[in-house]
Amino acid sequence: MKQRRRIYYSSEQRSEIWDRWKQGESMNSIGRLYDRGSSSIFSVLAPTGGIRPRVRKRSRLALTLSEREEISRGLSRGLSLRAIARQLERSPSTISREVRRNGGCKFYRATRSDQAAWERAYRPKPCKLAGNGFLRRVVSGKLRQGWSPQQIAGWLKRSYPRNEHHYVSHETIYRSLFIQARGVLKKDLLDHLRAKRTIRRSRQSSLKGNGIGQIKDPVSIRERPASVEDRAVPGHWEGDLIGGLYCNTCGTSFTLCHARQSEE
């Protein structure tokens, strides 16, 4: 069996995957766009539990790639760190720290230093449940009792109306459950949720509201033409060929008879 090459999704493709997932498309539907199965899409969504990660942005105070390239060129020309700082209108201590933590004057490289700075700058926001043992115990206990995250959030507000430290939103609970990398709530608590999903999907993120799985512009059985009753055309016999018992009153199947009575 020939194996297909593994696909590496670009940032644009990942963004489109998240957009379509948010709009309510299934993994199978998204996977067909890239000629891949649902498991390929699941690998993109699962690490964050089906919750779209926030777009990271660089701080306006951080050195840019172009500034790091100027530092690299200045070092290759033998300029001092203070001279480079004056050119960039930066503090000498900023340039000194940048060069020292990225290999020194001899081994400094702009692109490698910029990537290293981007990785060091990652600061995941601490979860409220991670720093509050009382909340964590209450939420875990209520989930095991079959409470939904919405019920837990509402109960906490009513029980502790003057203590905001004991408040937690239902989305925070969902994130703590589905993003296991946070290490806050145990994975076995997922089994106590009413929707048995392995990744997060909002109730509003569905295509059912757009008519998927529904009959559009249905026509009542009472509006069919009179010629149908004559049985002159073979296509009009289909109702009589339905398997099952027949109604003694109208001579048609109980299915059609029941449909007429429901309309009336």
- Asked whether residue 115 falls in the same domain as residue 150, the answer is no
- Asked whether residue 167 falls in the same domain as residue 146, the answer is yes
Range of the domain at 21: 11-48
Q: Is residue 218 part of a domain?
A: no
Residue identified by tokens 């090459």 is 5
Residue-level pLDDT at 244 = 54
Q: Is residue 213 part of a domain?
A: no
Half-sphere exposure at residue 236, Cβ-oriented, CA atoms within 13 angstroms: 10
Half-sphere exposure at residue 190, Cβ-oriented, CA atoms within 13 angstroms: 16
Contact 46, 22 (CB under 8 A): no
Q: What is the pTM of this model?
A: 0.51
- Asked whether residue 157 falls in the same domain as residue 108, the answer is no
Q: Is residue 2 part of a domain?
A: no
Number of structural domains the chain divides into: 4
Give the DSSP letter of residue 160. -
Residue-level pLDDT at 81 = 94
- Token reading at 145: 């009792």
Residue-level pLDDT at 258 = 55
Mean pLDDT, contiguous 10-residue spans, the chain (264 residues): 70 89 87 87 84 83 93 93 94 94 92 91 76 85 88 90 85 78 68 72 57 69 74 61 54 55 55
Q: Is residue 185 part of a domain?
A: yes
- Asked whether residue 137 falls in the same domain as residue 169, the answer is yes
Residue-level pLDDT at 120 = 87
Residue-level pLDDT at 70 = 94
Amino acid at 97: R
Q: Is residue 226 part of a domain?
A: no
Q: Is residue 33 part of a domain?
A: yes
**Ramachandran angles phi, psi of 253, nearest 5°:** -70, 160
- Asked whether residue 151 falls in the same domain as residue 177, the answer is yes
